[in-house]
Amino acid sequence: MSDKTEEPIHQRLNLLIQSLEDGVQRRFAQTIGVASGVVGDMLGQRKSKPGFDLISKILQAYPQIRAEWLMRGEGEMLKAPTPPNTSALHSTKTGTEPRIIAIAEGENTAAPLYNIRTAANYKGDGLSQERPEPDGIISLPKWLLRNGNYAVFPVVGDSMEPTFYARDYVLCRFLPKTEWNDLREDAVVVIVSESRGLQLKRLTFRMGEGYVRCKSDNRQHPYYQLDLDDVLEVWRFEWRITSSAHNPTEGLAERVSTVEETLEDMRALLEHVLDKQEIRQLQARPIK
């Protein structure tokens, strides 16, 4: 029998959150798709142990985590990086031209418009069978189309609200694999993958770990992660074409008015209480 004392799973979860979520438990809860209170119960005073379903959610949300480490504390926390991913990223021959999304021919003054949906709930099952065809061509000023291949995609669904709305269009520039590492944190892109088709998302790359995190601006849509081997193309967002005139301050004046009325009611109640207290004090004074 081994004399080694097993590290509690709560400590391993804390280490996971510190390493991959900058210590933010709320972000960890969103990533695995549970309420913040569930994580609080595990890591707080209650120290409740995660069940099989929760362990499965963690391993699915963080594919770079080794199951043996999470469940039993054996070995390293992270899987060893897969060498083919790294070589593909820096190859000058692979990923330099779009192969799924067609590009406009001729002078760089037009971009193809696709009728393929870019939404969080769309899965591109047909991508591997047939190359998508553009629905038309949009002519654009030369200063919009500089040094690259461009395409225009429609936005469907609410996964990127309030930044993008359904029936918006996004003009995107094709990003070769050699430039993926240059994407800033939370860059908006249309990402094309075998498993999920076309998605308009914010990306966080984990280049050394072989996966990318895809996030929605609408918090009701959970994060998900893709292996880099699953990613076919990345198109970086450049411009938005929209007919939306959504007012981001809609309802704000009404909410401010409600707060003001509540404060006024509290002030009146406090004055009433103080007046009654003063009357009682006067009544309690002895008459000279």
User: Are residues 24 and 100 located together in one domain of the fold?
Assistant: no
User: Are residues 43 and 120 located together in one domain of the fold?
Assistant: no
User: Are residues 64 and 94 located together in one domain of the fold?
Assistant: no
Output the pLDDT for position 201: 93
Which percentage of the chain shows pLDDT scores above 70? 72
What does the alpha-carbon distance between residue 60 and residue 286 come to, in Å, rounded to a whole number?
77
Residue 144 vs residue 129, higher pLDDT? 144
| Domain-embedded: residue 278 | no
User: Are residues 134 and 208 located together in one domain of the fold?
Assistant: yes
User: Are residues 106 and 60 located together in one domain of the fold?
Assistant: no
What does the alpha-carbon distance between residue 138 and residue 279 come to, in Å, rounded to a whole number?
78
Output the pLDDT for position 185: 81
Output the pLDDT for position 3: 40
Please report which confidence band the pLDDT of residue 286 belongs to, taking 50, 70 and 90 as the band edges.
low
User: Are residues 213 and 126 located together in one domain of the fold?
Assistant: yes
Q: What is the pLDDT of residues 69-91, one digit of tens each?
A: 888 888 888 887 544 333 333 33
Q: What is the mean pLDDT of the chain?
A: 75
Cα angle 93, 97, 101 (rounded to 5 degrees) comes to 145
CATH number of the domain that 127 lies in? 2.10.109.10
Q: Choose the most confident range, by mean pLDDT, from 119-128, 134-143, 173-182, 249-258.
A: 173-182
Ordered DSSP codes for 243-257 = -----TTTTHHHHHH
Does the pLDDT at position 125 exceed 60? no
Residue 42 CB coordination number (10 Å) = 19
Domain that holds residue 23: 9-72
Element of type H or E holding 226: strand 224-227
Residue 197 vs residue 28, higher pLDDT? 28
| Domain-embedded: residue 169 | yes
Please give the average per-residue pLDDT across 159-180, as a whole number.
87
The last residue of a domain, from among 220, 241, 262: 241
User: Are residues 121 and 224 located together in one domain of the fold?
Assistant: yes
What does the alpha-carbon distance between residue 41 and residue 246 come to, in Å, rounded to a whole number?
40
| Domain-embedded: residue 48 | yes
User: Are residues 234 and 124 located together in one domain of the fold?
Assistant: yes
Number of domains in the chain: 2
| Domain-embedded: residue 285 | no
Does the pLDDT at position 129 exceed 60? no
User: Are residues 53 and 179 located together in one domain of the fold?
Assistant: no
User: Are residues 30 and 60 located together in one domain of the fold?
Assistant: yes
The last residue of a domain, from among 17, 41, 72: 72
Q: How far is CA 172 from the centre of its chain?
A: 19
Please give the average per-residue pLDDT across 251-280, as a whole number.
77
Where are the extended beta strands (E) located within 93-196? Answer: 110-113, 136-139, 150-154, 169-175, 187-193
User: Are residues 150 and 236 located together in one domain of the fold?
Assistant: yes
Output the pLDDT for position 136: 73
Residue 47 CB coordination number (10 Å) = 11
User: Are residues 110 and 233 located together in one domain of the fold?
Assistant: yes
